[in-house]
């Protein structure tokens, strides 16, 4: 079945460091891919998305490129801030099953 | 974008009791989803609730344990019945934005954190 695998956390970085959170997927068909972020005490909110191969989603300095050949959607940011501390979830949606599949989440902690 | 309100935001419950979680959306939506987020784990879909029909449950979840109501296009409830400590979790209500037939993002409520003693 469809699945999402993302790197385990927690990830601890200093402010202004470069961030990469790896995400790979398995799916039949052509899924849409998403990154959601959950700040402490809040619900999940969409960070960025890509709906087809080679699309790049971007928001708030975060980027991720839909790589069909490597079935990956890695999240990157060039310079993290303390306010980026949160849990990040990679997710996919396939219209065939009409289901969203979430990864296990990666907790990011940014130190000042 | 949809705004979702969930109540209660948190509760501490006794073993064997039941609790109903309410989810109110500020716009009419066709599909509403109920997820469970256990500590340190991912989101697991419990069921999909469509207005006017019975909820569709995922493998491992049954209606007797998690009855769902969907009386209209803006409201749904999830009841966690006969609770045990294993039901301690965050329960999330979610709706989907669909634009021009293309599935978009999910909007989530802030979640209901249940602790069962």
- Hey, are the CB atoms on B105 and A34 less than 8 Å from each other? yes
Rg over CA atoms, chain A: 13
Q: Is the dihedral of CA A65, A68, A69, A74 positive or negative?
A: positive
What CA–CA distance (Å, rounded) separates B117 from B105? 35
Q: What is the pLDDT of residue B98?
A: 67
What CA–CA distance (Å, rounded) separates A46 from B108? 9
What CA–CA distance (Å, rounded) separates A55 from B105? 16
A72 to chain B, minimum CA–CA distance in Å?
A: 18
pLDDT in tens, B76-112: 999 999 999 999 999 999 998 766 566 668 889 999 9
B30 to chain A, minimum CA–CA distance in Å?
A: 14
- Hey, are the CB atoms on B42 and A42 less than 8 Å from each other? no
| Residue listed under structure tokens 């999402």 | A4
Q: What is the pLDDT of residue B104?
A: 67
- B46 or A98: which carries more pLDDT confidence? B46
DSSP code per residue over B37-54: E-TTS-EEEEEEEETTSP
A45 touches chain B (CB under 8 A): yes
Q: Is the dihedral of CA B54, B59, B62, B65 positive or negative?
A: negative
- Hey, are the CB atoms on B92 and A93 less than 8 Å from each other? no
A5 CB neighbour count, 10 Å cutoff:
15
What are the pLDDT tens digits along chain A (112 aa)? 889 999 888 999 999 999 999 999 999 888 999 999 999 888 899 999 999 999 999 999 999 999 999 999 999 999 999 999 999 999 998 877 778 899 999 999 999 9
Half-sphere exposure of A66 (CA within 13 A, CB side): 20
């Amino acid at each position: 079945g469809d699945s999402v695998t993302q790197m385990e956390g927690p990830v601890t970085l200093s402010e202004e460091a470069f961030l990469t959170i790896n995400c790979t997927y398995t799916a039949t068909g052509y899924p849409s891919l998403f990154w959601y972020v959950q700040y402490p005490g809040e619900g999940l909110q969409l960070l960025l998305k890509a709906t087809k191969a080679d699309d790049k989603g971007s928001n708030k300095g975060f980027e991720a490129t839909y790589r069909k050949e490597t079935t990956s959607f890695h999240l990157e940011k060039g310079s993290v801030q303390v306010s980026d501390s949160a849990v990040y979830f990679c997710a996919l949606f396939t219209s065939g099953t009409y289901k969203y599949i979430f990864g296990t989440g990666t907790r990011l902690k940014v130190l000042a | 974008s949809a705004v979702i309100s969930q109540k209660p935001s948190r509760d501490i419950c006794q073993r064997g009791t039941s609790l109903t979680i309410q989810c109110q959306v500020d716009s009419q939506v066709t599909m509403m989803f109920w997820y469970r987020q256990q500590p340190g784990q991912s989101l697991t879909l419990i069921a999909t609730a469509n207005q006017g029909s019975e909820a569709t449950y995922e493998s491992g979840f049954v209606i007797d344990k998690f009855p769902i109501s969907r009386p209209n296009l803006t409201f749904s409830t999830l009841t966690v019945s006969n609770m045990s400590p294993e039901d301690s979790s965050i329960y999330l209500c979610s709706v989907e934005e669909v634009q021009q037939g293309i599935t978009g993002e999910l909007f989530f409520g802030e979640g209901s954190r249940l602790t069962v003693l």
